[in-house]
Amino acid sequence: MTVVTLKIDDRDVSGRDDETILEIARENGIVIPTLCYLEGLSIAGACRLCLVEVKGTSKLLPACATRVSEGMEIHTNSERLTQYRRTIIEMLFAEGNHICSVCVSNGHCQLQDAAVALGVDHIGVPYLHPHRHVDASHELFGIDHNRCILCARCVRVCDEVEGAHTWDVGVRGIEARVVTDFSTPWGDSDTCTSCGKCVQVCPTGALFAKGKSAGEMTKQSEFVEYLVAMRGRRS
Amino acid sequence: MIEERPLFIPEQNIVLEHNGDIDPEVLEDYSKIEGFTALNHVLTEMTPPEVIDQVSRSGLRGRGGAGYPTGLKWQTVAKAPGTPKYIICNGDEGDPGAFMDRNVMEAYPFKVLEGMTIAAYAIGASQGFLYVRAEYPLAVQRLKNAIRQMEKHNLLGKNIAGTPFSFDVDVRLGAGAFVCGEETALIASIEGRRGNPRPRPPYPAERGLFGCPTLINNVETFANIAPLLRKGAEWFASIGTEKSKGTKVFALSGRIARAGLIEVPMGTTLREIVFDIGGGIPDGKAFKAVQTGGPSGGCIPSDYLDMPVDYESLLKLGSFMGSGGMIVMDETSCMVDVARYFMEFCMSESCGKCVPCRVGTAQMYQLLTKIVNGDATLNDLALLESLCDLVRNTSLCGLGQGAPNPVLSTLRYFRDEYIAHIVDKRCPAGVCPVHKREHQEVNA
pLDDT score for B135? 96
* Closest chain A CA to residue B353: A46
pLDDT exceeds cutoff 90 at A189? yes
Question: What per-residue confidence (pLDDT) applies to B66?
Answer: 86
What is the architecture, at CATH level 2, of domain B335-443? Answer: Up-down Bundle (1.20)
Whether the predicted pLDDT of A170 surpasses 50? yes
d(CA B330, CA B313): 22
> B193 to chain A, minimum CA–CA distance in Å?
10
Residues A91-119 pLDDT 10s: 999 999 999 999 999 999 999 999 999 99
* CA nearest to A66 within chain B: B201
Domain A91-218 sits in CATH 3.30.70.20: yes
**Least Cα separation, residue A62 to chain B (angstroms):** 8
Domain with CATH 3.30.70.20 in chain A: 91-218
Contact between B167 and B120 under an 8 Å Cβ cutoff? The reply is: yes
For residue B250, what pLDDT band results from cuts at 50, 70 and 90? very high
CATH class of B247-330: alpha beta
- The model's confidence at residue B1, banded by pLDDT at 50, 70 and 90, is very low
Domain B27-237 has CATH 3.40.50.11540: yes
Which residues, in sequence order, are CB contacts of B29 under 8 Å at separation 6+? B22, B23
More confident: A181 or A231? A181
pLDDT grade for B117, boundaries at 50, 70 and 90 = very high
> Could you give the CA distance from residue B127 to residue B150 in angstroms, rounded to a whole number?
15
Per residue in B198-207, pLDDT (tens digit) is 999 999 999 9
Cβ neighbours, 10 Å, residue B302: 15
Measure the CA dihedral A219/A224/A229/A230, to 10°: 90
Please answer yes or no on whether A176 and B362 come within 8 Å at the CB atom. no
In chain A, list all ranges with CATH 3.10.20.740.
3-77
Residue from A125, A165, A171, A175 to probe the interface with B (highest B Cβ count within 10 Å): A125
- Alpha carbons B370 and A108: distance in angstroms, whole number: 37
- Any idea which of B135-144, B166-175, B378-387, B431-440 has the lowest mean pLDDT? B431-440
Return all residues near B156 (Cβ < 8 A) that are at least 6 apart: B113, B117, B147, B150, B167, B168, B169
CATH class of A3-77: alpha beta
Q: Tell me what the pLDDT averaged over chain B comes to.
A: 94
- Residue B357 to chain A, least CA–CA distance (Å): 8
Portions of chain B given CATH number 3.10.20.600: 247-330
Minimum CA–CA partner of A44 in chain B: B198
Task: Give me the pLDDT at residue B440, please.
Answer: 75
pLDDT digits (tens, 9 = 90+) for B13-60: 899 988 888 999 999 999 999 999 999 999 999 999 999 999 999 999
Q: Where along chain B do the CATH 3.40.50.11540 domains lie?
A: 27-237
pLDDT of B2 above 50: no
Q: In whole angstroms, what separates CA B322 from the centre of its chain?
A: 4
| pLDDT score, position B322 | 87
